[in-house]
Amino acid sequence: MPTLRETILTALHARLSALPATALRSDVLPERIPPDGLLILRDGEPGEPEVTLSPLAYHYQHRTEIEAVVHGPDRDAVFDHLCASIGAVLAADRTLGGLCDWVEAEAPRPVDLPVEGAASLKVAIIPVILHYTTADPLG
């Protein structure tokens, strides 16, 4: 049986998979970037939880990251559309079907990466904070 953390990450990946861009999870950057862009969800860091007693509960603000990668002559427009699409998917269900207390994204930090003999890639890390509570830090 998967842990709550894994269930939440799987649900987030499923939401990202509904977008036109190819969505991977904890994978390496492929040699070819799809025309609609590429998203790689990184599991991230759950951080130090706040703990409440009676009943015992661990309250996490789990910081995960989405790597967004686009290329081509219209990469700025494709990147903008991709970021807006991610925002819309998260805003449509801030609890991932009741799995989280809240899901919020932070602003992307885009950079242009040069590629030898080709147009540069536009890449950004989009931090996503998952707020959730569990009864066991390993469960």
Rounded CA-CA distance 77/80 in Å is: 5
Whole-model pTM: value is: 0.94
- Please list the pLDDT of the chain residue by residue as tens digits (139 residues): 899 999 999 999 999 999 999 999 999 989 889 999 999 999 999 999 999 998 999 999 999 999 999 998 899 999 999 999 999 999 999 999 999 999 999 999 899 888 887 778 999 999 999 999 999 999 7
User: Which residues are registered as beta bridge partners of 78?
Assistant: none
Using CA of residue 15, residue 38, residue 28, residue 43, what is the dihedral sign?
Answer: negative
Rounded CA-CA distance 14/77 in Å is: 24
Q: In the numeric block, which tokens belong to residue 30?
A: 């492929």
CATH number, domain 4-134, options 1.10.10, 3.30.2000, 2.20.110, 3.90.25: 3.30.2000
Q: How is the chain split into domains, by residue range?
A: 4-134
